Amino acid sequence: MIANLVGGKWSEPSGRESLPVFNPATGEVIEQVPLSGAQEVERAVEAALKAYAHWSVSAIGERAQLMFRYKALLETHAEALAAIVTRHHGKTLDEARGEVRRGIDVVDFACGAPTLLQGRTLRAVSREVDQDYYRYPVGVVAGITPFNFPVMIPLWMFPLAVMAGNTFVLKPSERTPLGAVRLAELFLEAGFPEGVLNLVHGAQETVDALLSHPGVSAVSFVGSEPVARYVYQQAARNRKRVQAAGGAKNHIFVMPDADLSLAIPAILNSAFGNAGERCLAGSVAVAIAGAGKALVERLAAETRKLRVGPGDQSGIDIGPLIRDEHRRRVLGHIERGIREGARPVVDGRDDAYLGRAGFFLGPTILDQVTAEMAAAREEIFGPVLSVADAAQLKDAIAQANRVEYGNMAAIFTDSGKSAREFRERIEAGMVGINVGVAQPFAFYPFSGWKSSFYGDLHIHGTDGVDFYTRKKVVVSRW
Ligand code: NAD
């Protein structure tokens, strides 16, 4: 059984139920994760509150030195972290390496805290009166993370939070808890004091205990839309600051003037990378003004070349899904799409994948998807790409804007005019122009819109600094 980290000590909660952690490529159980309850959460929040008393007033330079040491340890252990990700998530090693890199990017950003945490001053706001603001930490922050990026998403949160002087209780995904365990071990090795980062494993009950604990001042959440909405409402009801990133249904537009040699691999990587289990996955390709036929044929031909298999083997493009139960859900989406009239030009429901150990599913392309079909509106979170047509760019934009999500959208075009029109009118917070996965770098916020994000200040970037600090304004006359 894997252990919780409370006040610098690892311990298994006694008498608690547990869940299996799988290797999705083999279907084998590799660990057990405990389902912590209110008592374990109480201990972790107490430890974080105790550490907050001294950590929140520690010198920023000392904190930065610890974070630089952490960054060096993460670099040294990057390959081992990637292997852990692949082992219990299933994505390919290259994808896992990319995830670890994007996580370390946020640690790099957090190392800049002595600059990022500076306040502002305006002298002489009135005669002989000056005004300043200082940034203060908010207190104990709880972080709740999803299964699909077991290293990167925890790193989106706690490095920046602790650099701002907060202490942290992390509740990793119960399906992929092992990345966070290794991150926490390295955090202690870097020399951070006990109680600054705590780890409590579990699921809904654990989250509920965090959301109702009066010692928790702020909540960072990433996961599915219904849970994001629930966490946002509950945390706000309990007077906590909250940022909650949810699901997605991302559209990729292809104009007739697009360079298909650039667009095709980018769309395939966007749709099928990480086996489609990515909130920035391109899920609907929209062929505009007759771009359709050539697009579908080339997408299908290239998709048939993709190799599905265990992520730790070389030459593999698509790893398994996270669980058999999730695979069945994705199969249900494919069946529904076909029932509603979509044409499966590549069908991943092949015994070569479904019949073997592990939770594999081949890539699928559904053509002739229309705006009314579920395949154009609902998050599938698997290797399924819908292809739709639109007469003009403005029709495609209107169609995409009717979807409840607004995480990412992308366009492939050679026309600056089309790209600008798209950028101006698409209702998505992350926009790709000739880029299939428009992930903001760590120094910019991860900016989902509509039902893809509940809150005001997004995760990481300068939004992250604002979220993890509160401002005190001082008006002084001497
Ligand atoms: P999930 O919502 O099932 O779980 C996320 C976290 O919430 C986990 O830690 C889980 O234990 C907890 N949780 C689950 N059900 C709960 C409940 N009823 N009450 C309280 N807590 C609960 O999400 P997932 O399946 O792990 O992750 C995939 C989802 O996350 C997808 O929808 C994906 O789009 C989304 N996601 C969004 C972003 C983003 O930045 N917008 C990034 C990654 C993933």
The pLDDT score that the predictor gives to residue 149 is 98
Residue 246 Cα to ligand 1 middle (Å):
7
Q: What would the pLDDT profile of 185-223 be if each residue is shown by its tens digit?
A: 999 999 999 999 999 999 999 999 999 999 999 999 999
Q: What is the pTM of this model?
A: 0.98
C-beta separation of 450 from 405 below 8 A:
yes
The pLDDT score that the predictor gives to residue 309 is 97
Share of the chain above pLDDT 90, in %: 98
Residue 472 Cα to ligand 1 middle (Å):
34
Which atom of ligand 1 is found nearest the CA of 452? 41
Q: Looking at ligand 1, which residue's alpha carbon is closest to its atom 43?
A: 279
Q: Looking at ligand 1, which residue's alpha carbon is closest to its atom 20?
A: 204
Segment 325-344 mean pLDDT:
98
Residue 65 Cα to ligand 1 middle (Å):
33
Q: What would the pLDDT profile of 386-416 be if each residue is shown by its tens digit?
A: 999 999 999 999 999 999 999 999 999 999 9
For a substitution probing ligand 1, which of 224, 225, 325, 403 has the most ligand atoms within 8 Å of its CB?
A: 224
The whole-angstrom separation of Cα 196 and Cα 52 is 7
Segment 63-80 mean pLDDT:
98
Q: Residues enclosing ligand 1, CB less than 6 A?
A: 144-148, 171, 173-174, 203-204, 207, 222-224, 227, 230, 245-248, 279, 379, 381, 407, 446, 448, 452
The whole-angstrom separation of Cα 284 and Cα 296 is 12
Beta pairing class for 453-454 and 120-126: unpaired
The pLDDT score that the predictor gives to residue 290 is 86
| Residue 449 exposed, middle or buried by CB count within 10 Å (0-12, 13-18, 19+) | middle
pLDDT over 90 (residue 292): no
Please, what is the average pLDDT of the chain? 97
pLDDT over 90 (residue 59): yes
The whole-angstrom separation of Cα 314 and Cα 246 is 32
What does each C-alpha distance from 440 to 113, 281, 387, 432, 458 come to in angstroms?
19, 14, 25, 10, 11
Side-by-side strand order, sheet with 120-126 = 120-126, 129-137, 469-477
pLDDT over 90 (residue 15): no
Which atom of ligand 1 is found nearest the CA of 223? 30
Residue 255 Cα to ligand 1 middle (Å):
33
The pLDDT score that the predictor gives to residue 245 is 98
Segment 14-34 mean pLDDT:
95
Tokens matching residue 180: 């966070």
For a substitution probing ligand 1, which of 201, 208, 222 has the most ligand atoms within 8 Å of its CB?
A: 222
Residue 172 pLDDT level (bands cut at 50, 70, 90): very high
Residue 284 Cα to ligand 1 middle (Å):
21
The pLDDT score that the predictor gives to residue 91 is 98
Q: Looking at ligand 1, which residue's alpha carbon is closest to its atom 38?
A: 279
pLDDT over 90 (residue 16): no
Q: Domains in the chain and their CATH numbers?
A: 4-246+452-477 (3.40.605.10), 250-433 (3.40.309.10)
pLDDT over 90 (residue 473): yes
Segment 370-391 mean pLDDT:
97
Which atom of ligand 1 is found nearest the CA of 227? 2
Residue 250 Cα to ligand 1 middle (Å):
17
pLDDT over 90 (residue 286): yes
pLDDT over 90 (residue 291): no
Give the distance, in angstroms, between the CA of residue 63 and the centroid of all CA atoms in the same chain: 26
Segment 292-301 mean pLDDT:
92
Q: Give the 3-state secondary structure of residue 73.
A: helix
**Active centre residues (catalytic):** 279
Which atom of ligand 1 is found nearest the CA of 173? 9
* CB neighbours of residue 183 within 10 Å: 27
The whole-angstrom separation of Cα 451 and Cα 458 is 13
Alpha-carbon torsion 319, 321, 322, 324, what sign? negative
